[in-house]
Chains A and B, each alone.
Chain A
């Protein structure tokens, strides 16, 4: 691949330089090569002219000197050697010329790839296990589908992170469902992480500072989800310098302004992105007339240095989607000619931070998050729209105290979260036939107390211990049915009901959530780590589709639906090599989850006042091995990883046929993909450009394939029986990105760069699903692929200071 790259870059550069090929007089090019830091001359450094090492290259002598005779004209000179960052230049030779070169050592370079650590000691020394950090700089260089920098797609290049496919509305981490990930953007929860149903993530890329993914040890300050925490922090406004960045891609346009309002005191960051593609789509093909796909998001963050010791941060985020596609179903039983989806998120956060002593600080945060998805049916025979609206409002207040010494770090905190859920209301508009309907509002309160303590016991041993106690209350007004003992909850098995008034507690759950991480350093560059986690989840999505729709219903725990409780045991080995240029890690984990939900055949949750009648409770287990090697510095950076991971569910809610899945045996989860390999490489060839490649392979996901066919009512139908016993063909893909920078303008106020990407370079038709459709009297199998051809795209990004 490297050779291929060189050929590519040679072609590209020669095209750019337009080298004259006429033979002229010869002149000498000579100079000295030194280490940029120590000023020591460097011997055995290769000096390569016009990429033709064999014919015109030379090496430096012991004193770092070189001399080479060249014809007059333009030449490309490359000086390189093991352990040093190569130097490249082009010059026009018209006399004897001296070229002195200072090469920086690779190990002195700042890390380009910051996937697993912020500094080498973070991975090796930190007691936490399974924490992935990915910098936006890394993400920006990755080849992105349609040129949109995407956090969720970038994360899927890490071990242990998968999804059901290219249109997945969320990611699966270590055998968890998509709703078991707590996704926080500046502390505010994101309930629907994608735009355009899985195609792009909702996080505005230019405003994101970085992200931490906790897939192993989760600090006790986080709670409420069973599998992982994705903690995305937004950039803080710059208090000193105005900065404008923006970009144009085939999909969206974006603009970010970083504005110091009062120098050194008050700053505001505003970042907006919009995609209004519907008119373009209609121009592209008449087949797309029924397709609509518009989205936008805007984030504003205010930072106020209120005094010597305190700061105030406020953040607001709004995101909206509006789309219509033939890949999503319609609302049954509304006589409609078309269906549209619309969903919006409105989040807000205010944080007050105060330093009490140099070692002690306190932080108090108030959070509000609202998510409202709508399904809009265009009623047949009229212009009326019937809307099915749902809503989720979360309000939270939390406060924490941090104390830090040389050897330890302690945090204690308290948090209270109120949930108000509108499970669904039908708004008939001007309809003559549709009746308005409303399902009762759900209210709940989740409280938590926690303490985290991280201590270095010795040079070799460090411990991170956390304990969280969470307590959940489902609040009235509500009507709770009681079902006959031992029988499935059903309209026919109701024996009693209790009505709870406003604010009355109808059900409580709670318990301790211990978190433990231990690191033992075997050598200064190698360590082993052990971790244990228990997490409780009181709010979950109830959906039985392949991937949750943006309109899937969220549900709090109640008298019938118990919170999910997940335990994770993990162990890992971490090794830094070659002056911390390389990092090798191996992790294993075992996870069990109680009270996961599955669904009765034909279950329907829309406007369902008693969802417990549609549900089956079960349990889940997951285990895996994750291996990763990364090169963090140098011209070539990147990583290779392999994951072996399995996830199984078991549902045997009762003895009846319909209360079990696969006869009560363990069955493969939708996202059980045993083998995956990801390779991500970035080659920074000059200041002018960099190339990136992603190569991805994973076992196809399970699906339910027919076990034969049946003849019924003069049609041939597939006969399904066992769940998820088939597997889609393996998924693999290669992506390419070429970033072109313009360093000659580096010191000017306006800097621009182009990114050319090709997603799915060899155009593999990766199956998102295989399905059987009954057409006429016959049933035919089909394959649905989402990005089924090479997708080239070009984007332009700029920065103005």
Chain B
């Protein structure tokens, strides 16, 4: 057992009992999990409707945690218990509904998956709930906002707040997420290597090739416009149990880190959940975010609404959720509102904690993915 103490100051006297003392700690690990994780979230928006499947398990020899995409599965969605729409694998472990497919409020959706080895999984049928429109959105610069644990401090951020009117005629469950687009100038970093477009046989590579003459990094500018996308990393949930029909005022829905001085585009998403989906995400929130107090809840397996009908005892992680979404995009001109220093001068420095070392020989492509896009986001000024 190794103990890693980081510089988290502990207090003296009575303060101890009231704030406790939190240290980084490395307990003996136990890596026996081997579970299927299903992540499906169908919306009513014009966007790719994607289900991802992975197997999260430890490597048998090293015990290190890893995930493997589950490939070559067949998946379909059953709408209102009669109509079946198939999903197509677009990347390993990523399955997508046909282009242009959108969910509709009031309809019931159920996910069916069959793995290549024949194991079948099925979700419960989820009904898409309506969501009210986002009302006023405001933001405020907060110099000490996002808690960082190592070392202990709070990072500056722009905090976003919204108002929305909760409908009185039904129980509503909300989840808020955010995405921020930042202009990215650097598309690739090679460690002890150089970016190569074509190899000596003139074969297209577009990748790093080992070259020990580079002692550390070589960094490459983007060939085309490119945007970095950062997403919310914590769950933000709300039920109208105590406030049904009331107005939700000043709900904090985002903390956009003040990484650098440039402007960025922020999207706030307000999603409707079913009671069961809300309970599932709340369970995950309670045992991963609301922890470290003196009265924590006993954590349990994060089993959602997907089951293996042939083996009810198999723990299947994740939830097949359907949501109506209302969203707002906000152009954040940081220099206009923010006082105090940003975390770094440029986005590159903020994300990599070093200065770029330009190679300059070639430029790199902007590879689209979860965190990067070459497509100008709607709302980004020309």
Q: Are A781 and B25 in contact (CB under 8 A)?
A: yes
Decide if B295 is an interface residue (CB 8 Å cutoff).
yes
Tell me which residues across on chain B come within 8 A of A715, comparing CB atoms.
Answer: 233
The residue of chain A having its C-beta at the shortest distance from the C-beta of B312 within the complex is A657
Decide if A791 is an interface residue (CB 8 Å cutoff).
yes
Q: Are A335 and B11 in contact (CB under 8 A)?
A: no
The residue of chain B having its C-beta at the shortest distance from the C-beta of A729 within the complex is B1
Shortest Cβ gap from B279 to chain A (Å): 5
Q: Are B302 and A717 in contact (CB under 8 A)?
A: yes
A789 to B10, CA, bound (A): 8
The residue of chain A having its C-beta at the shortest distance from the C-beta of B304 within the complex is A712
Q: Are A250 and B20 in contact (CB under 8 A)?
A: no
Known: A435-B242, A544-B297. A291 touches B18 (CB 8 A): yes
Q: Are B242 and A434 in contact (CB under 8 A)?
A: yes
From B35, B250, B252, B295, give the contact of A719 (CB < 8 A). Answer: B35
Tell me which residues across on chain B come within 8 A of A780, comparing CB atoms.
Answer: 24, 149
Known: A433-B243, A712-B318. A328 touches B15 (CB 8 A): no
Q: Are B294 and A328 in contact (CB under 8 A)?
A: yes
Tell me which residues across on chain A come within 8 A of B240, comparing CB atoms.
Answer: 333
Tell me which residues across on chain B come within 8 A of A197, comparing CB atoms.
Answer: 294
Decide if B99 is an interface residue (CB 8 Å cutoff).
no
Q: Are B10 and A545 in contact (CB under 8 A)?
A: no
The residue of chain A having its C-beta at the shortest distance from the C-beta of B33 within the complex is A708
Shortest Cβ gap from A293 to chain B (Å): 6
Decide if A457 is an interface residue (CB 8 Å cutoff).
no
A583 to B280, CA, bound (A): 56
The residue of chain A having its C-beta at the shortest distance from the C-beta of B251 within the complex is A335
Decide if B112 is an interface residue (CB 8 Å cutoff).
no
Q: Are B20 and A785 in contact (CB under 8 A)?
A: yes
Decide if B39 is an interface residue (CB 8 Å cutoff).
yes
Task: Point out which of A196, A250, A293, A711 has the most chain B C-beta atoms below 10 A from its C-beta.
Answer: A711
A780 to B293, CA, bound (A): 15
Q: Are B301 and A432 in contact (CB under 8 A)?
A: no
Known: A544-B297, A709-B56. A435 touches B245 (CB 8 A): yes
A780 to B61, CA, bound (A): 23
Tell me which residues across on chain A come within 8 A of B290, comparing CB atoms.
Answer: 329
Interface membership of chain B positions 277-314, coded 1 if the CB is closer than 8 angstroms to chain A and 0 otherwise: 00110111011111111111111111100000000110
From A545, A607, A725, A770, give the contact of B295 (CB < 8 A). Answer: A545
Tell me which residues across on chain B come within 8 A of A712, comparing CB atoms.
Answer: 37, 39, 56, 284, 302, 317-318
The residue of chain B having its C-beta at the shortest distance from the C-beta of A386 within the complex is B242
Q: Are B11 and A288 in contact (CB under 8 A)?
A: yes
Q: Are B18 and A196 in contact (CB under 8 A)?
A: yes
Shortest Cβ gap from A253 to chain B (Å): 14
Q: Are A783 and B16 in contact (CB under 8 A)?
A: no
Tell me which residues across on chain A come within 8 A of B249, comparing CB atoms.
Answer: 335, 380-381, 432-433
Decide if A383 is an interface residue (CB 8 Å cutoff).
no
Decide if B248 is an interface residue (CB 8 Å cutoff).
yes
A359-411 contacts to B, CB under 8 A, are 380-381, 386
Known: A546-B296, A547-B294, A704-B299. A781 touches B24 (CB 8 A): yes
Tell me which residues across on chain A come within 8 A of B231, comparing CB atoms.
Answer: 714
Tell me which residues across on chain A come within 8 A of B293, comparing CB atoms.
Answer: 326-329
Q: Are A433 and B56 in contact (CB under 8 A)?
A: no
A332 to B319, CA, bound (A): 21
Among A27-35, A279-287, A414-422, the one that faces the other chain is A279-287
Q: Are A335 and B300 in contact (CB under 8 A)?
A: no
A780 to B234, CA, bound (A): 14
A288 to B10, CA, bound (A): 12
Decide if B119 is an interface residue (CB 8 Å cutoff).
no
From A287, A326, A329, A434, give the contact of B246 (CB < 8 A). Answer: A434
Q: Are A782 and B17 in contact (CB under 8 A)?
A: no
A230 to B294, CA, bound (A): 24
Q: Are A784 and B56 in contact (CB under 8 A)?
A: no
Among A76-84, A446-454, A771-779, the one that faces the other chain is A771-779
Tell me which residues across on chain A come within 8 A of B247, comparing CB atoms.
Answer: 432-433
Decide if B370 is an interface residue (CB 8 Å cutoff).
yes
Decide if B330 is an interface residue (CB 8 Å cutoff).
no
Tell me which residues across on chain B come within 8 A of A719, comparing CB atoms.
Answer: 33, 35, 56, 301-302, 317
From A709, A773, A779, A781, give the contact of B26 (CB < 8 A). Answer: A781
Q: Are A721 and B301 in contact (CB under 8 A)?
A: yes
Q: Are A327 and B279 in contact (CB under 8 A)?
A: no
A285 to B152, CA, bound (A): 15
Decide if A718 is an interface residue (CB 8 Å cutoff).
yes
The residue of chain A having its C-beta at the shortest distance from the C-beta of B281 within the complex is A713
Shortest Cβ gap from B36 to chain A (Å): 10
Shortest Cβ gap from A368 to chain B (Å): 29
Q: Are B283 and A601 in contact (CB under 8 A)?
A: yes
Q: Are A707 and B24 in contact (CB under 8 A)?
A: no
Tell me which residues across on chain B come within 8 A of A765, comparing CB atoms.
Answer: 21, 23
Decide if A106 is an interface residue (CB 8 Å cutoff).
no
Known: A602-B282, A781-B24. A726 touches B54 (CB 8 A): no
Shortest Cβ gap from A604 to chain B (Å): 9
Q: Are B234 and A774 in contact (CB under 8 A)?
A: yes
B240-266 contacts to A, CB under 8 A, are 240-252
Q: Are B302 and A771 in contact (CB under 8 A)?
A: no
Known: A704-B298, A783-B25, A786-B17. A333 touches B239 (CB 8 A): yes
A534 to B280, CA, bound (A): 41
Q: Are A773 and B291 in contact (CB under 8 A)?
A: yes
Shortest Cβ gap from A167 to chain B (Å): 4
Decide if B210 is an interface residue (CB 8 Å cutoff).
no
The residue of chain A having its C-beta at the shortest distance from the C-beta of B11 within the complex is A285
Q: Are B19 and A708 in contact (CB under 8 A)?
A: no
Decide if A215 is an interface residue (CB 8 Å cutoff).
no
Decide if A768 is an interface residue (CB 8 Å cutoff).
yes
Known: A196-B18, A765-B21, A782-B25. A711 touches B13 (CB 8 A): no
Shortest Cβ gap from B56 to chain A (Å): 4
Known: A333-B238, A715-B233. A721 touches B282 (CB 8 A): no
From B149, B243, B283, B315, give the contact of A721 (CB < 8 A). Answer: B315
The residue of chain B having its C-beta at the shortest distance from the C-beta of A710 within the complex is B56
Interface membership of chain A positions 323-361, coded 1 if the CB is closer than 8 angstroms to chain B and 0 otherwise: 101111100111100000000000000000000000000
A714 to B25, CA, bound (A): 24
From A146, A287, A724, give the contact of B14 (CB < 8 A). Answer: A146
Q: Are B242 and A774 in contact (CB under 8 A)?
A: no
List 11 additional A-B contacts (Cβ < 8 Å) besides A167-B294, A287-B11, A782-B23.
Answer: A323-B18, A332-B239, A335-B251, A545-B297, A657-B312, A706-B33, A707-B32, A707-B33, A714-B233, A775-B149, A782-B292
Closest 6 CB pairs of A and B: A708-B33, A433-B246, A545-B295, A783-B25, A788-B21, A381-B250
14 contacts between A and B (CB under 8 A): A284-B15, A333-B241, A333-B243, A545-B296, A711-B37, A718-B288, A719-B33, A719-B56, A720-B287, A724-B298, A773-B288, A779-B288, A784-B294, A785-B20
